[in-house]
Amino acid sequence: MAEIRREKPEDVLDVRNVNDRAFGRPNEGAVIEQLRGACPGLVSLVAVAEGHVVGHILFSPVGLEADDGRRVRGMGLAPLAVLPEWQGRGIGTELATVGLAVIRQTPCPFVVVLGHHGYYPRFGFEKASRHGIRCQWDVPDEAFMVLVMDGAAMRGVSGVARYRGEWDAAT
């Protein structure tokens, strides 16, 4: 289907185009550009088909401020974007599957996503509220989900998940 690989410097404009077109606005693309320069630890993958970047997924650090005072660092999946003319071909699923496999190779106890409740459960995401995890923004309960990757590290942890400040402009 598509080749999934890490983003390269020459992909920057294509990644912006994919996100701007997929979301119909410049918010996500602008945040990605800000994060690239300010945030170590990003995992950014692209889908390439017919020699062109047709999809993109980004994982960036998220801090969980636990109710008991602990701070647990995980990742946030955002955004996941596919060019409109390439949607419905499984590219988003490929990006998420490969991206989560990359994250599983790191010491990451959880991944959160703010997205469609009918899409993300196929990857193991469930309502974050089931784990006592809340989003920093006022969002529908079914839209904020978590994938617990390290049950031992997350045992008894509940609290507020906070994305990096760059995301505030996109919400």
Q: How many domains does the chain have?
A: 1
* CATH number, residue 163: 3.40.630.30
User: Which range marks the domain in which residue 12 is found?
Assistant: 3-170
What value does the mean pLDDT take over residues 28-42?
A: 91
pTM value surpassing 0.75: yes
What's the per-residue H, E or C state across the chain? CCEEEECCHHHHHHHHHHHHHHHCCCHHHHHHHHHHHHCCCCEEEEEEECCEEEEEEEEEEEEEEECCCCEEEEEEEEEEEECHHHCCCCHHHHHHHHHHHHHHCCCCCEEEEECCCCCHHHHCCEEHHHHCEEECCCCCHHHEEEEECCHHHHCCCCEEEEECHHHHHHC
What value does the mean pLDDT take over residues 71-85?
A: 97
- pLDDT of 1 higher than 90: no
What value does the mean pLDDT take over residues 34-60?
A: 95
